[in-house]
Amino acid sequence: MVFPSISRKRILLISSDVMHYRVSVYNYFHRRFRELGFEFQVMTNKLQPQSRVPLEFHLREMPFVFRDYRRAIVEADPAAIILFLYLKDKITWPLAHWLRFKKIPFAFWTKGSNWDAKESRWSRMAFNYANGLSDALILYADPCVGEINPRYATKAFVANNTINFHDFPAVRESKEEIKSEFGIPFEKVVIFIGRMEEGRGRKRVDHLIDIFRRLDRNDIGLILVGSGLSDSLKSQLNPRNTRYLGEVQDSRNLGISKLCTMADVCAIPGHVGLGLNQAFHFGLPVVTEAGNHPPEIGYLKPGRNGFMVPEGDLNALQERLLYLLDNDLIRAEFSRHARDDIRASASIEGMFDGFRNCVDYLTSRRAIAERGFDEGGLQKLTAK
């Protein structure tokens, strides 16, 4: 489809806290949108201070005050806006209604519903209203399409949520050299990756700590990587087989790349998130529990690139971990599948394609509106 040309060439993403792993994604978006003649900018209330990746895109950081954002949007005069906000953010509702009133095309980047409370009637009503208010939707994954009202499917674009694997460097050191560098004495390693404080501990790192506290194996160790391990859980760590490294960040992502290269299996018992993508990129099978997971759980294929055990079943969790650790040939097969599957299903190129298609749709709507087309004219054009 060839869309009418437009004079405005700025794409504005308005986001809640910009996490460090998003910076690399937005750098990639900036480069790709620039190739298409667009300027990609980000406005946020906060950039995660731990971020070490240099910004290539223009970022403006300011508190969520509606009148300030309204003024900034008018000054930026964007061709389209993407809202990456929580519905509970105080700026979301006045901003969305104002954009609608001003006929500035915008999309919500969303999971389509609250995946942690799918049975909540009030949550579903709020999401349904927000989805209808927007001109378009950018969805995390294909399963999210089933979470929206069918009448919004024509304005929904899937951009499989992922991280920018291009910014993870190749690691030349051997597993043993990396273990020596980080002081890791274990023959086989289970790694956990993620923010442990998130969602009141919903990643359930405590389950791994319980398993390794009672595990009577001298050859297997647990490495915990990420922020937010509570003092209470720190006191429960088994010093014989568990190491907590905290956050591991640098501008080249070299430290985390080394740790993932060194590890054998990744375990994230709850709410896997993008840690699963990262593990698969490095060929680490993932073991988790059933329960409330975000859309990224769709990349896990039990029995192929990892395992899912019943929620809260620590015996089953331990058994699946030991099965992979003790069977080198099976683990190697799972590892190969993990790499292949994530590259096929969740590349940064595929994610950008979803955003680009949505922007094409949004900017075509604006161009048509400026030329006086009615909604029927839009439908005829987009059907071509």
- Other Cβ atoms less than 10 A from the Cβ of 196: the count is 21
Domains 10-162+347-382 and 168-345 alike in fold:
yes
Run of H or E residues at 242: strand 242-246
Q: How do the pLDDT tens digits run along the chain, 384 residues long? A: 334 444 448 999 999 999 989 999 999 999 999 999 999 999 999 998 877 889 999 999 999 999 999 999 999 999 999 999 999 999 999 999 999 999 999 999 999 999 988 888 999 999 999 999 999 999 999 999 999 999 999 999 999 999 999 999 999 999 999 999 999 999 999 999 999 988 788 999 999 999 999 999 989 999 999 999 999 999 999 999 999 999 998 888 999 999 999 999 999 999 999 999 999 999 999 999 999 999 999 999 999 999 999 999 999 999 999 999 999 999 999 999 999 999 999 999 999 999 999 999 999 865 456 544 444 444 443 333
Q: Which of 27, 37, 104 is nearest to 58 (CA)?
A: 27
Starting from the edge strand earliest in sequence, which strands make up the sheet with 286-289, in order? 242-246, 220-225, 188-193, 265-267, 286-289, 306-309
Q: What is the pTM of this model?
A: 0.90
Q: Tell me the three state secondary structure of residue 190.
A: strand
Run of H or E residues at 99: helix 92-102
Domain 168-345 has CATH 3.40.50.2000: yes
Q: Hey, which bits of 19-73 come out as E strands?
A: 39-44, 58-61
Domain extents in the chain? 10-162+347-382, 168-345
Torsion angle, CA of 99/57/260/333, rounded to 10 degrees?
A: 70
Q: What is the pLDDT of residue 380?
A: 40
Q: What is the pLDDT of residue 7?
A: 42
Q: What is the pLDDT of residue 190?
A: 98
Torsion angle, CA of 257/158/303/313, rounded to 10 degrees?
A: 80
Q: Which CATH number fits domain 10-162+347-382: 3.40.640.10, 3.40.50.2000, 2.40.370.10, 3.40.250.10?
A: 3.40.50.2000
Extract long-range pairs of 28-31: CB within 8 Å, 24+ residues apart: 28/164, 28/166, 28/348, 28/352, 29/57, 29/352, 29/355, 30/56, 30/57, 31/56
Q: What is the pLDDT of residue 368?
A: 57
Starting from the edge strand earliest in sequence, which strands make up the sheet with 156-158, in order? 58-61, 39-44, 10-15, 80-84, 106-110, 136-139, 156-158
- Other Cβ atoms less than 10 A from the Cβ of 337: the count is 18
